[in-house]
Chain A
């Protein structure tokens, strides 16, 4: 069964450093998302991406964050200058369509996550 994959599974970085989190969405999916989950807290939406553009972004997704689809398979989240409070599990998700087609094709499938630890 197709699945979303993410690398690395765990990333440790120093405060102020740049990190890039990588995701490979399901191959026929057109919509891509990033969410984060701070330890013990709820899952929070960061950004959605379609047709090489950001569709929606939350207040969390400020100027230090960026997303990119550098090729036909990868979807990346870059954090330019990490802060301690960026420590969290980051989930990538993908869906075939983006909310207008129907429940089955709009369902978001999540990757295993990247645990980011900022020291």
Chain B
């Protein structure tokens, strides 16, 4: 059974600081996604990572993938309040595009 674990589950940080969210998964994956969810809202696709060493950046967020370690990271640079949300990683092991989600990291950025 595929397990996807994120840590930390909750992160409170000051504006301007850097931090990293980790996503570990237990089996070989075809691709890994990062989604953002604002309170009471839907999930917004941020990144999809395919291959070992893949790195993608959008604004203050950068995602990377190490398939050998079965680890993805989402790095936040110089956080701003607008980044406050819950971030989920999700793994696709190639079975009908079925996504297995991590537990989510709730990020709060304080002014």
- Write the residues of chain A forming the contact surface with B, with a CB cutoff of 8 angstroms: 4, 31, 33, 35, 41-45, 48, 55-56, 58, 91, 95, 98-99, 103-104, 106-113
29 contacting pairs across A/B (C-beta < 8 A): A33-B97, A42-B88, A42-B102, A42-B104, A43-B43, A43-B88, A43-B90, A43-B99, A43-B104, A48-B96, A48-B97, A56-B97, A56-B98, A91-B42, A91-B43, A95-B97, A98-B96, A99-B96, A99-B97, A103-B31, A104-B48, A106-B92, A106-B97, A107-B33, A108-B99, A109-B45, A110-B35, A111-B42, A113-B42
- Over the window 86-97 of chain B, the binary record of Cβ atoms lying under 8 Å from chain A Cβ atoms (1 yes, 0 no) is 001010101111
- Write the residues of chain B forming the contact surface with A, with a CB cutoff of 8 angstroms: 30-31, 33, 35, 41-45, 48, 50, 88, 90, 92, 94-104
Query: Which of A33, A41, A103 has its CB near the most chain B CB atoms (within 10 A)?
Result: A103
